[in-house]
Chain A
Amino acid sequence: MKIRARLTLWYAAILIVSLLIMGAGTYQEIAEQLHIDHSAHVWRHALNEASEMVLDVGLPAIALGLLGGWWITRKALAPVTALTRAVEQKHDRNLGERLRRSGNGDELDRLTEVFNDMTSRLDNSFHRIREFTLHASHELKTPLTVMRGELETALRENNLTAPQKELLLSQVDEIERLARIVDGLTLLTKADSGQIKLDFEPVRLDELVRESVADAKILAQPQNVQVNLSACEELVISGNHDRLRQLLLNLTDNAIKYNQAKGTVAISLSRTGHCAELKIENTGAGLPPELQPRVFERFFRGDQSHNNVVEGCGLGLSIAQWIVQAHNGRIQFNSKPGELTTVTVWFPMDAGAQEGNGKV
């Protein structure tokens, strides 16, 4: 129940109680004035007088009081409502913006000030964490380059035994993996701090889908996974060509990697309302419902026990989510464990169609 409603109810209760007291008082008064005559008729008269006064004067006064009370609480609480609305707009990227203060120095103005201080402290911490990750991933690249280079130089020596060579090669593989993680982290950190500007152009989504399905079919062969393109409508959206290709490859590759042998991947692209809807279904083991909301988290691994079965940097779906959001789209992960796992992506179409027609 809202504070306003609660206060108004309390106020109404107080008014009614005081009205009843008033009525009782009036009854007493009239009765006393007439106490010489003890007939029932007189008592009834007093009762009528009193209740008449309560009903004719008291009730309208209560109604008026309530209306006034409701208005006053509304006025008193308006800054709170405004503050709530402003705070609702806060997210990790506009923490630096300060809420507007009324400047009259009352309790709510003070609250706004405290809130502003809190968000600016938060903003500072967020900023520091991003800077740190960015620096860390940059600093990691130099030693990785040196390690990679020196291992390669060592591998060129002819006097290595087979086990030595195998050891060095395995280290090269691990460095590669580490480099991929560092790359992904750099990308996501930069995206978080809004440092990546994507150039948009009209993109034929259906062409990109066909192209990535062709690649997916080849990728799926070693596991005997069947890849089907069930629908592919001709669609143009406004987007970044390279990032959309990356998204498609990323999602189809996931659908294959996490599939079972001889499973299927079904891909479809269609128009639903004002959106382009891309659906990628796979028959893999899927994820239990309680883990599904976490699937876009960085370094999230669905099945801890099978941690090492599928290789990857653990950032694929986070990157996919960033690409979709950078296109003002929406991505959803839905899984019925053991049956069907679906990733659905929606892209807004109107802007793209307009740009495609040249009237931006």
Chain B
Amino acid sequence: MRVLVVEDEKKTASFIRKALQAEGFAVDVCHRGDEALAVAGSAPFDGIVLDIMLPERDGLSVLRQLRQQQNRTPVLLLSARGAVNERVEGLNAGADDFLPKPFVIAELVARVRALGRRGSESKPTVLRVANLTLDTISHRAQRGEKFFDLTAREFRLLEFLMRSAGRICGRMSIIEKVWDYDFDPGTNLVDVYVKRLREKIDEGFEPKLLHTVRGVGYVLKE
């Protein structure tokens, strides 16, 4: 997978590049908006990581121009402005995802990977990790022989974690996908819910499936 990273701050660009390369992505980096347009037009990319604040030409205008040129490459917007309506503005301009700064790299990597998968994968209705299964139609969850009840929120949380099984889910993406919040609630809501979910799916079972990645989020894996 080939990714274009557009970020004017050199250090930030550098660790994003390192992290993506470590995960096996091919990475191109540029530091200016106008430059980004030229590069994106010259070669096919599987995804673009685009900072909003750029010299010369800001990310949103680059994005609009790209879409105007019928360039459909999935775009992940990075924002340092952290405003309330910026997310909406970005998605309206044609972005596929949005990540406010300062972000967790693992989260950025997971989202870039999701960009590549967008639309190309059909969603299975029965999810399975080890001996844990979740039927997304009947909402029934089962580990081994044991069935358990989930509240609506727990179901969405488990579904999200199982669909991203093996990958780290950052707190921010859980908040976005499970709660539909566009703000950081500043509470330990996610942690408390995960703890409850863990009691249901992991207690009395080996191996444990739901793991904490400190400072980042959670991962469901064998």
- The digit string for A186-219, where 1 denotes a CB below 8 A from any CB of B, is 1100100001111000000000000000110011
Binds B, one of A10-18, A92-100, A241-249: A241-249
A175 contacts B by Cβ under 8 Å: yes
Known: A219-B189, A242-B181, A242-B183. A196 touches B84 (CB 8 A): yes
Chain A residues within 8 Å of B, Cβ to Cβ: 137-138, 141-142, 144-150, 152-153, 155-156, 169, 172-173, 175-176, 179-180, 182-183, 186-187, 190, 195-198, 214-215, 218-219, 221-222, 242-243, 245-246, 249-250, 253, 312-313, 316
- The digit string for B41-71, where 1 denotes a CB below 8 A from any CB of A, is 0000000000001000000000000000000
B215 touching A196 by the CB < 8 A rule? no
Complexed CA–CA distance, A313 and B215 (Å):
17
CB distance from B134 to the nearest CB of A (A): 20
- Hey, which chain A residues are within 8 Å of B186, CB to CB? 180, 250, 253, 312-313, 316
B80 contacts A by Cβ under 8 Å: yes
Complexed CA–CA distance, A222 and B182 (Å):
26
- Hey, which chain B residues are within 8 Å of A138, CB to CB? 53, 80-81
Complexed CA–CA distance, A187 and B81 (Å):
9
- Hey, which chain A residues are within 8 Å of B183, CB to CB? 242, 246
> Which of B16, B196, B215 gathers most chain A CB within 10 Å?
B215
B138 contacts A by Cβ under 8 Å: no
CB distance from A95 to the nearest CB of B (A): 24
11 A-B pairs within 8 Å (CB atoms) are namely A142-B9, A142-B80, A144-B101, A148-B102, A149-B16, A153-B105, A172-B215, A179-B102, A187-B82, A215-B153, A249-B189
Known: A145-B12, A146-B11. A186 touches B187 (CB 8 A): no
Segment 84-123 of B: residues with Cβ below 8 Å from A: 84-85, 100-106
B146 contacts A by Cβ under 8 Å: no
- Hey, which chain A residues are within 8 Å of B192, CB to CB? 218-219, 221-222
CB distance from A9 to the nearest CB of B (A): 58
Known: A152-B15, A219-B187, A221-B196. 13 other contacts (CB 8 A): A142-B101, A146-B11, A175-B102, A182-B82, A183-B82, A186-B82, A190-B83, A214-B151, A214-B153, A242-B84, A246-B181, A250-B185, A316-B186
Complexed CA–CA distance, A180 and B53 (Å):
20
Complexed CA–CA distance, A172 and B217 (Å):
12
Known: A138-B81, A148-B103, A221-B192. A153 touches B15 (CB 8 A): yes
A145 touching B101 by the CB < 8 A rule? yes
CB distance from B7 to the nearest CB of A (A): 10
B80 touching A243 by the CB < 8 A rule? no
A150 touching B82 by the CB < 8 A rule? no
A150 touching B15 by the CB < 8 A rule? yes
> Which of B16, B18, B53, B214 gathers most chain A CB within 10 Å?
B214
Complexed CA–CA distance, A212 and B183 (Å):
15
A253 touching B102 by the CB < 8 A rule? no
Q: Find the B residue at minimum CB distance from A313.
A: B186
Complexed CA–CA distance, A100 and B41 (Å):
57
B37 contacts A by Cβ under 8 Å: no
CB distance from A248 to the nearest CB of B (A): 10
A169 touching B215 by the CB < 8 A rule? yes
A249 touching B81 by the CB < 8 A rule? no
Query: What are the 7 A-B residue pairs with the smallest beta carbon separation, nearest first?
Result: A172-B215, A145-B102, A149-B15, A141-B80, A144-B102, A148-B102, A145-B101
Of A147, A152, A221, the contact of B106 (CB 8 Å cutoff): A152
Determine the interface band of chain B, counting residues with CB < 8 A from chain A: 35 or more
- Hey, which chain B residues are within 8 Å of A249, CB to CB? 185, 187, 189
B184 contacts A by Cβ under 8 Å: yes
- Hey, which chain A residues are within 8 Å of B80, CB to CB? 138, 141-142, 145
Complexed CA–CA distance, A78 and B104 (Å):
64
B193 contacts A by Cβ under 8 Å: yes
CB distance from B88 to the nearest CB of A (A): 8
A153 touching B193 by the CB < 8 A rule? no
Complexed CA–CA distance, A192 and B193 (Å):
35
B16 touching A187 by the CB < 8 A rule? no
B19 contacts A by Cβ under 8 Å: yes
CB distance from A183 to the nearest CB of B (A): 5
Complexed CA–CA distance, A245 and B196 (Å):
22
A245 touching B215 by the CB < 8 A rule? no
Known: A148-B102, A152-B104, A219-B192. A186 touches B83 (CB 8 A): yes
A146 touching B84 by the CB < 8 A rule? no
B83 touching A196 by the CB < 8 A rule? yes
Q: Find the B residue at minimum CB distance from A184.
A: B186
CB distance from A259 to the nearest CB of B (A): 14
Of B22, B85, B196, the contact of A197 (CB 8 Å cutoff): B85
CB distance from B155 to the nearest CB of A (A): 13
Q: Find the B residue at minimum CB distance from A190.
A: B83
Q: Find the B residue at minimum CB distance from A315.
A: B186
Of B84, B103, B185, B196, the contact of A187 (CB 8 Å cutoff): B84
Q: Find the B residue at minimum CB distance from A178.
A: B102
A149 touching B83 by the CB < 8 A rule? no
A146 touching B153 by the CB < 8 A rule? no
CB distance from B21 to the nearest CB of A (A): 12
A253 touching B187 by the CB < 8 A rule? yes
